[in-house]
Amino acid sequence: MSDTITSGKVVSLVLTMTVDGQIVEQYDAENPFDYLHGAETIVPGLEAALDNRKVGDKLTVTVPPAEGFGEYDAEYFEILDEDEVEGAELGMEIMLEDDEGYIYEGVITEIHDGEIKVDLNPMLAGKTLTYQVEVVGLRDADAEELEHGHVHGADLDEDWDDEDWDDEDDDAEDEE
């Protein structure tokens, strides 16, 4: 087993992410952040900075919007009829579903003349992210993790059902 972070490795991190000096996300040694390197499940700027790192490495990574959650797009919104969202209020986060069943999140930014404007940008779009990271664990991913593109493990809830991930895998195969 290679002792450096490369594609196909499960990486465990102690991590603090800040935006404008405010903590947005934090994981400690007792509950580290685990991810599958190379599976594009974390922001590209952080994943690239972790390439070839080793357990014990500590680093600070500044990720610009283009390598994080993307630039803010003022045109990325949806207009809904006000009666489609019960109790609609400015700033309210709502879940929407597209025609193919994909669920996504939006934030109500305007309510006017019976219509609601929902901002669909990720909450951290347009933001520069700063990560304080320590690599605390590294192992080879097992075959199932590689197939599914995400980490499995003892820390998952006993009621966890991987069926949704499997369905997504099947859908992707059907499109090929």
The mean pLDDT of 20-26, rounded to a whole number, is 97
Q: Which of 4-18, 110-124, 137-151 has the lowest mean pLDDT?
A: 137-151
pLDDT given at position 1: 55
55 pLDDT more than 90: yes
Could you give the domains of the chain? 9-69+125-156 (3.10.50.40), 77-119 (2.40.10.330)
Q: Which residue has the higher pLDDT, 161 or 150?
A: 150
176 pLDDT more than 70: no
Place 145 in a pLDDT band, splitting at 50, 70 and 90. Answer: confident
pLDDT given at position 150: 82
159 pLDDT more than 50: no
What DSSP letter does each residue of the chain carry, written as one string? --SS--TTEEEEEEEEEEETTEEEEEEBTTB-EEEETTSS-S-HHHHHHHTT--TT-EEEEEE-GGGTT----TT-EEEEEGGGSTT--TT-EEEEE-TTS-EEEEEEEEEETTEEEEE-S-TTTTPPEEEEEEEEEEEEPPHHHHHHTS---TTS-TT--THHHHHHHHHHHHH-
Place 156 in a pLDDT band, splitting at 50, 70 and 90. Answer: very low
pLDDT given at position 157: 41
Place 125 in a pLDDT band, splitting at 50, 70 and 90. Answer: very high
